[in-house]
Amino acid sequence: MNFKHFISELKRRNVFKVATAYAITGWLIIQIVTSISQPLSLPVWFDAVIIILVLIGFPISLLFAWAFEMTSDGLKKTTKVEVEKSVTKNTGKKLNLVIITTLLLLVAFLLNDKFSTKSIFGEQRIASEMPSIAVLPFADMSPEKDQEYFSDGLSEELLNVLAKVNNLKVAGRTSSFKFKGKNDDLRKIGKELGVNHILEGSVRKSGNTIRITAQLIKVEDGFHIWSETYDEDYTADNLFQIQDDISKKILKELKINLSIKDENAKTHVLTSNTKAYEAYLKGNQLLINRKPKDIEDAILEFKKAIVLDDQFAMAYARLATSYGHLFKYGSIKRGIAFKSMRENIDKALLLNNNLGSAYAALGHYYKDKELIYNEVNFNSYKEAMKKAYELESNNPEIIMWYGNSLDFDTDERIEIYLKALEIDPLAPVILQNLANTYYARKEYKKAEEYAKRNIDINPEYIRTRIFLIEMLTKEPNSKLGEGFIETYKTYKKYPENLDVLNHLTTLSTNLKLFKVAEEMEEIMKRVYPENPSLINIKVNNLMNRQKFDEAFKFIDSFFKKMNLKEGSTQVLSMELAKNQILKQNPEINYNYLKKYHSIFLSDTLTILPDAYEGDLPSIIVALKTAKHSKQTINNLIRIYSLKTEKEYKFNGDITKEKIIVLNRIANIAILKDDAKLYSTVLNEFYFNRKSKSFDQNQVDIDASYDGIRNTKEVKEIHTKIRADIDKMRATAIAYLKDEDVWEKYKE
């Protein structure tokens, strides 16, 4: 055999080029398949089958290139084609093009894979220099199935211990426990949690012996790195000792197998009472989705834990947090909620003044206890959350709460949320907070993607469903009719969900479907009689029906219940609005200001106290109505205008300034009776920015509009807005008619 001739013939028949093209194309196919198998939830064996098929095809392609040639007359055996009539040169040129193109695609794929940043869901590729692990809930394999609290407690203890290791990433409890009782593929679990190792195990009690089995698995290939079985003598008094011993033994093995070293990784017993610990674990699990009934049950569990062990500091902290959650997401009297929060926070800190969860609860206490913004309490809230974060910087829930205390428009807030999500990638509240923040930053695509991801992972977290509908009804979409339809559909499915009731009320009010809003109020009274959102709903419904006397009597009684003092800024706001809307003697407001807020009657006032910023337009109108000194009024308008100008980012260009600044510019236009500026701002606000919250009732009754209400410009813009609202209202009405419920809602 002439070897040189053989090599020459291989080249002529393009065997080498076929080999090169096949190898590059095959490698590209393998890279693509392995990268999409997890997002598409393909079976574990899928990658292996594709790789085997690619490898098998390689020699077949070479044999095919040697034995056959594609001619103008079709596929023929190479031996049947005369050399001078062969087209292998043309084929070779085509193969060169295939090789170059495929090679460019492969390089692009590899570069993208290497330099791409964290995906929007925070699922980073695991850095090889830092090991990562998820502790799945240990399974109760006992015949009586009566050791669940022990198996959960062991898993929780291991999570707490490992979370203290500085050079180890540990998936959070919410995400890890989501796989409890499931038999999902470990590779899929590992990728969802963003870890490269999984620790799982089981607990089996038989007679006076308890057997704990633990195994460490490598996510990449599913192989066991280490496994061990521990048999311990079982008594009711030594369960925590067993848990502590097993945790230490497993931690020792993990240090060896994962090459981690950290002296902080020590076990810490929260309580010595097994029943108290069981109640504590149940309470934590009940708080995940923020469902009112679950929160109420969690409170009972934490109270049970405290009765069983009155030195259980963490149970006090979690009980305080639960009361705060019930106030926001359920129904509890304000006074009881915040009294209970403070009492349990103080007990927790007395027992352990370095408990991050207690400081987090204290932060919520300061943030939510006041009716309106209070700078002192808000600063206390931020300080408490910062302290909680410093004490428990690896606790994803506390990380998230610390993120909540940061300003919406800061990159640090996003970074903190992503840190929490990296630890706890399936936690519903973290995902929702990211969606909220991206929406506030006008990064609508990211907000929507996080929300949809959350629904896929946590279908029972209804708050995210409503968030997506809110995105439909707010800027940049503002399709109120379509949003009403989607909200009503959700209402039929979840008729007592707080978020659904609130949003449907808002849309009904905007679309002048007042009977729908009133039906939502009746449900709120029955299901959430103490929820703070019911107050606004009731007042708005009364105002929409122009039952002004009744509305103000309700507000007044509420303020008295809250022990708000006469002359406070809250009472000032009510008094100004009440006296103007009810068309009372203008001197009433003037005398009220003279008695409690005489600072505004001075011609020499130069600085506006922050507490009065929101009320200043109403104060100016009250003085104008009372025909007070023009010099004083003009001075107050000047102060308000200067303060507004400090908020300018674009020199007052209404096409660029934030909506909050547009509102202030509109107020200035109203105060100066500038109809042209007011109508221009309103057009920008409503039609260009698509922020379609327009209260016709306020325009009709508020004395602020007296100077411009009947001008041509204002009439035209108000008519245009009403026509748009009527169109969206018709869409909602058509749906209600199709559902055969319009008769009970029509006026």
Percent of the chain predicted with pLDDT > 70 = 84
What pLDDT does residue 73 have?
57
Q: Using pLDDT thresholds of 50, 70 and 90, give the confidence band for residue 116.
A: very low
Which stretch, 24-38, 63-77, 150-164, 345-359, has highest mean pLDDT? 345-359
What pLDDT does residue 710 have?
93
Q: Taking residues 100-104, report their average pLDDT.
A: 68
Q: What are 492-521's pLDDT values in tens digits?
A: 999 999 999 999 999 999 999 999 999 999
CA distance 45 to 24: 23
CB 439, CB 447: distance < 8 Å: yes
CA distance 311 to 273: 10
Q: Using pLDDT thresholds of 50, 70 and 90, give the confidence band for residue 119.
A: very low
Phi-psi region of 564 (alpha: psi -120 to 50; beta: other; left: phi over 0): beta
Q: What are 453-471's pLDDT values in tens digits?
A: 999 999 989 999 999 999 9
CA distance 440 to 400: 17
Q: Using pLDDT thresholds of 50, 70 and 90, give the confidence band for residue 168.
A: confident
Q: Using pLDDT thresholds of 50, 70 and 90, give the confidence band for residue 173.
A: confident
What pLDDT does residue 629 have?
86
Give whole-number Cα distances, 167 to 170, 195, 248, 364, in Å. Answer: 10, 13, 18, 31
Pick from 38, 179, 122: which is nearest to 396 by CA? 122
DSSP secondary structure string, 282-329?
HHHHHTTT--HHHHHHHHHHHHHHHHH-TT-HHHHHHHHHHHHHHHHH
Percent of the chain predicted with pLDDT > 90 = 46
**Helix residue spans in 116-231 (DSSP H):** 148-162, 173-176, 186-193
Residue 136 is classified by DSSP as P
Which range (55-69, 332-346, 669-683) has the least confidence? 55-69
Instruction: Please give the helix or strand (H or E) that residue 365 lies within, else none.
Output: helix 356-368
- Where does residue 318 rank: exposed (0-12), middle (13-18), buried (19+ CB within 10 A)? buried
**pTM beyond 0.75, yes or no:** yes
Q: What are 575-622's pLDDT values in tens digits?
A: 888 888 888 888 898 899 999 988 888 878 888 777 777 888 999 999
Q: Is the pLDDT reported for residue 78 higher than 70?
A: no
Q: What are 362-389's pLDDT values in tens digits?
A: 999 999 998 776 778 899 999 999 999 9
Spell out the residues 6+ positions from residue 25 whose beta carbon is closer than 8 angstroms to its own.
Answer: 98, 102
Q: Taking residues 108-118, report their average pLDDT.
A: 54
Residue 686 is classified by DSSP as I
Q: Taking residues 554-567, report their average pLDDT.
A: 87
Cα Rg, the chain, nearest whole Å: 34
CA distance 284 to 252: 28
What pLDDT does residue 211 have?
87
What pLDDT does residue 732 have?
97
User: Given the DSSP bridges, would you call strands 209-218 and 197-206 parallel, antiparallel or unpaired?
Assistant: antiparallel
Q: Using pLDDT thresholds of 50, 70 and 90, give the confidence band for residue 117.
A: very low
Q: Taking residues 553-575, report their average pLDDT.
A: 87
CA distance 691 to 668: 19
Angle value at C-alpha 411, between 409 and 414, nearest 5 degrees: 95
Mutual orientation of helices 480-493 and 712-738 as an angle, nearest 10°? 30
* More confident site: 9 or 233: 233
Q: What is the mean pLDDT of the chain?
A: 85
What pLDDT does residue 267 have?
55
